[in-house]
Structures are given as structure tokens and as C-alpha cells.
Amino acid sequence: MTKYVFVTGGVVSGLGKGITASSIALLLKSRGYKIFMQKFDPYFNIDPGTMNPIQHGEVFVTYDGCETDLDLGHYERFIDEELNYTSNITSGKIYKTVIDKERHGDYLGATVQMVPHITNEIKNKVYEAGKSSGADIVITEIGGTVGDIESLAFIEAIRQIQYEKNDDDTFFIHTTLVPFIYGSDELKTKPTQNSVRDLRNYGIKCDGIVLRLPYASDKEMKRKISLFCSVPVENVIDSVDVKNIYEIPLNYHEQKIDEIILKKFNLPINKADLTYWKKLVNTVNNLDKEIEISLVGKYVELHDAYLSVCEALKHAGYCYNAKININWVDSEKLEGNVKLSEVFKNTKGIIVPGGFGNRGTEGMIKAIKYARENKIPFLGICLGMQLACIEFARDICNINATSREFDANASFAIIDLMADQKSIANMGGTLRLGNYQCNIVSNTLASKLYKKDDIIERHRHRYEFNNEYKELLENKGMVFSGINEQANLVEIIELPNHPFFIACQFHPEFKSRPTKAHPLFKGFIESSLK
Ligand code: GLN
């Protein structure tokens, strides 16, 4: 019998609901339960795959090729479980399913409505996640803020779940903001009271409240919230602002949120094993070195557009007790008359992550050339690998190389559209997505880093290295050290006469974990520290 935790948010967005959900998941997992997580997003896109990263932040990709909200990355990093297509459900997906069913004739005779057709579809997604994952506990985060018109159907669906299920099958957590008012210099609980009342207007009774605040609340405040919101005082949990997000699960654990949930579920309160997590927090709070890494991209104005890359860099830093300071470099600005030696003055390593479209790519190519010529450790990811090949072909092989993505009529498209992409007209969900295997060539940097000859990584791209140019680049010293043999696709390239120059077509950042740094990032940071 699966149990269900729902996490809603009130007052404002950006409260850290995703981190709250992940932290609770981590604590329940640490007590021996199998956990699955999912997020409902109220927007009408089928998935965030077609959205501008500057608006939405990065697109996280699951192993089964689902393009998802970046919160899924938090989930995976906290609970170290691979999530899948049942983990990110949007209004777009729900409505599409219902409309397709209507056209198919599945509702014969019925008027198709928000309630029950849309709400039933939402409920199915919750129950399906429970069934297909075999989890003891499913944690579902509802995107947006209670009261938004957009998320009403989700709120109604989870209300029905609360009503349909036994009392000990569900736990509803509402996260709110407790603002500090300057002048009177106090924390204010009214927005929380109002938000919980909104939730009650929709028929939902919450079991716990997580307060986001700048410092811990006192007993009196908790008693007040408890009384006005009809929640036991011990179920009112503080989520105090922290510098290091990994402290949050430990803060919740001290306030016994995991015990409170398990008690309501009538499940055994097994001993929590948080040793590894405490060790991580201790490492992060005691880093004794700093290092500057330059991240060169075109979405740098929104750091969340590169969230998993930044996290993966940090994780690699923890292995060497090093704090990573990112120098955010807008690639488009490098295209003008700038002195690269100034831009990269304090930089110990350069990373060029993924991206789409032509804008800013000449700046990225300049940065790659600078890294190659000045023997600065370089890691290229996806577009970063494609541009590393273009740079090498132009500068070392003397051909006017480019990618078909930037020039449809290019004579030297050393990066070209993949064969199976040529007939595709729809943009959404049609990239090469998710897990693919890659063979590692022995005696290469890649084999030294992975210590394996067969790996699986997650992908998100439409273009590939054009094998017609392989020999030309190989003869001039480029090593193709990772190949997908089924489709004969280049997955990893490297340059041997350089301290560390490697790039991959896949996205290693999605598989990095705070306590398990990814081998490519680990190697990159190790050599940047030298
Ligand atoms: N735009 C490139 C492609 O589609 C790279 C994609 C990426 O960096 N994720 O192949």
C-alpha cells in the first residue's frame, strides 16, 4: 500500500518547495523507505523542452528521455534515485491526454469537463506513480502557489485524493513565507494564516506547515499558527534560510518532520541513517581552497539555466575540499574586441556547456581556442563538444567548419543533423533524449577517468559529429575516445597533448550527486587545481 505526501506552496513562489520536498524524501529514505517523487507543473507546454532557458531555467533530462523541470534535478541529487516520465506532469500533458481520449471516442456520450475528466487524469498520474515505482511513499509537489487559477485542477484532484484515501494514507504539507517587517522588526504570520485558509476554502486540510523565515520562530508564534491553522504545534516546522542547502534535511530532522509523517502513516519509525549526509554537510562547511572556473554560455544572465552543471562542479570540488567560484562569461560579449587574458585572468578551468542556436557560438569558439592554446583545463558538454570540434577543424585542419544548426547550406558541416532527425518536423520531444550507451577507447583520458570501457549517459541533442571528417581530425591529433557503437556516433573527444581537454556529446551533469561526483567533472576539477 503506497502512502502519499503532497507539498503545496503559499504566499509567494520561489520558496524552495522543491528543496522541502527533496529534504522530506531524503529523511524518509534514510529510515529505510522506498521513495518516488513527482512534480505537477500548471503550464500548458507538454514539457519545458521548448521553453527559453532564460525564462524557465535548465531542462533536466531523466534516464528514459523525459525533458523535465529543474526541480527533478534536486530530487535526484537529494534522494539518489533515478526518476522517470511519471515524475513530471504538466497541464499540457493532462489536457492532451483528455482531448486525445475525447477524439478517440473514449468518453462516448459524456460532456468532457474539468471535473471529473481532468481531475481524474491527474489522480491517475499520482496513483500510476505509486504503482509503477513500487514505492512505499510517493511525494508529489504541486508547482505554483495555492490560489493561482492555473493550478486549481491539481488542487481539486489532490483534495479528492485526501477524501478518497484513509486518513493514514496521505500527508499534506503547506510551505509558506513568514516575512520579517523592518521598523516593527518582527516576523509576521498573517500571510501564512491567509494561505492556509485559502487551502481550506478548496477543501484541503493540511497536516503540516513549513515556514520559510530568516531566523527560527518562537513557541508563541508556533502556537498562534497552530491555533489559527488547525495544525498541531509540533507539525509547524521552521525552514530557516541557510547558506548550504544540504543543511535543510538535517534541520527538518531535528524538528522530527519524518517521525511526524511516519506516525500519521502508521508506519514503523526505523532508525534514520544520516551519517553520509552529515559528513557531506561537514565537508561543504569546511572547504579550505577556492578556485575560479569560467562558464562560457549564452544564458548566463539566469544561473539556473546551468543548474546541474554548477551542482556537478560543486560536487567535484567537494572531493578536493575546494569551493568553486564560477566566473560567468557571456559568450556573445567575447565576440567583440575583448582581451581574453583579462577575462580569464584568474581562471583555472573553462567549461562550455550545452546550448541551442547560433547566437554566441563564435564567442564560445574563441574561449575554446584560448583554453586549447594556453593549456587551460577544458570541459565541453554537448554544444561544447560540437564547438570544440569546429574550433579544431578551423584552426588545425584549415577548413571553414561549422554546424548545420548554424548554416543550412554549409560546405563543411562537420556537425550535421543526425540521420534519424532529417524527417522530423515537430520540435518538442524529438531530440535524441535520455540514456544511450557509449564505448570507451582504452588508453585515453576518458578511460582513465571512467575506469570502465562501457558507460551509459543521458543525452539531449539533434546534431552529431559528421563521421566524414573523423579521419581528417584524427590525423591532426584529435582522439575520439567514446563511441556509441549501435549508431556509430561520436560521444567523447579529447586532445592528448594538453593537460586536460575533453568534451562529450552527452550531459554528464545530470548523473552527478553531492556524495558521488561525476568522473568527468572530478577529473576536470582535479586538473584545474594543479
Ligand atoms: N544544439 C545542439 C544540438 O541540438 C546541442 C544541444 C545541447 O547542447 N544540448 O545538437
Give the CATH number, domain containing residue 110.
Answer: 3.40.50.300
Note whether 262 and 300 are same-domain residues.
Answer: no
In degrees to the nearest 10, what's the CA dihedral of 20, 21, 22, 24? Answer: 80
Question: Is 462 close to ligand 1, i.e. is its CB under 6 Å away?
Answer: yes
Residues 68 and 92 in one domain: yes
Residues 92 and 58 in one domain: yes
Q: How many CB atoms lie within 10 A of CB 475?
A: 10
**Strand 60-61, strand 67-68: pairing:** antiparallel
Write down which residue in 280, 305, 331 finishes a domain: 280
Give the side-chain half-sphere CA count within 13 A for 407: 13
Burial annotation 42-52 (CB, 10 A radius, 16+ → b, else e)? bbebbbbbeee
**pLDDT band at 264; cut points 50, 70, 90:** very high
Q: What is residue 304's predicted lDDT score, i.e. its pLDDT?
A: 94
Residue 355 CA, ligand 1 centroid: distance in Å:
6
Where a domain ends, among 228, 261, 280? 280
Q: Is the CB of 405 under 6 A from ligand 1?
A: yes
Number of domains forming the structure of the chain? 2
Question: Domain range holding 373?
Answer: 288-529
Cell 508529489 locates to: 140
* Same domain, residue pair 310 and 176: no
Beta strands at 186-187 and 60-61: parallel, antiparallel or unpaired:
unpaired
Q: Is the pLDDT of residue 13 over 90?
A: no
**What residues have CB less than 8 Å from 449, skipping those under 6 apart?**
502, 519, 520, 522, 523
CA dist., res. 430 & res. 102, Å (int): 25
Instruction: Tell me how far apart the alpha carbons of residues 257 and 238 are, in angstroms, rounded to a whole number.
Output: 10
Q: What pLDDT digit, counting tens, does each position of 115-142 carry?
A: 999 999 999 999 999 999 999 999 999 9
Give the pLDDT confidence score for residue 108 in this predicted structure.
87
Amino acid identity, position 456: I
Residue 126 alpha carbon to ligand 1 centre in Å:
32
Q: In terms of domains, do 275 and 300 share one?
A: no
The residue whose CB lies within 8 Å of the most ligand 1 atoms, and thus the one to mutate among 461, 466, 505, 507, is 461
Write down the pLDDT at residue 14.
83
Nearest CA to ligand 1 atom 7: 354
Gap between the Cα atoms of 165 and 156, Å rounded: 14
Tell whether 228 and 307 lie within a shared domain.
no
User: Which pLDDT band holds residue 418 (cuts at 50, 70, 90)?
Assistant: confident
Ligand 1 midpoint to CA 262 (Å): 44
Instruction: Decide: 527 and 500 in contact? Cβ < 8 Å.
Output: yes
User: Which CATH number covers residue 522?
Assistant: 3.40.50.880
Tell me: do 300 and 256 sit in the same domain.
no
Q: Which residue numbers are catalytic?
A: 382, 507, 509
| R_g of the chain computed on alpha carbons | 25
Residue with cell 569546429: 390
Same domain, 408 and 297: yes
Residues 34 and 138 in one domain: yes
Are 516 and 459 in a shared domain?
A: yes
List the residue whose alpha carbon is closest to atom 8 of ligand 1. Answer: 354
367 and 488 part of one domain? yes
What's the CA gap between 513 and 79, in Å, rounded? 9
User: Looking at 280, 310, 329, which one is the last position of a domain?
Assistant: 280
Residues 97 and 119 in one domain: yes
Query: b/e for 308-335, b at 16 or more Cβ within 10 A?
Result: bbbbbbbbbbbbbebebebbebebbebb
Q: How far apart are CA 520 and CA 381, in angstroms?
A: 10
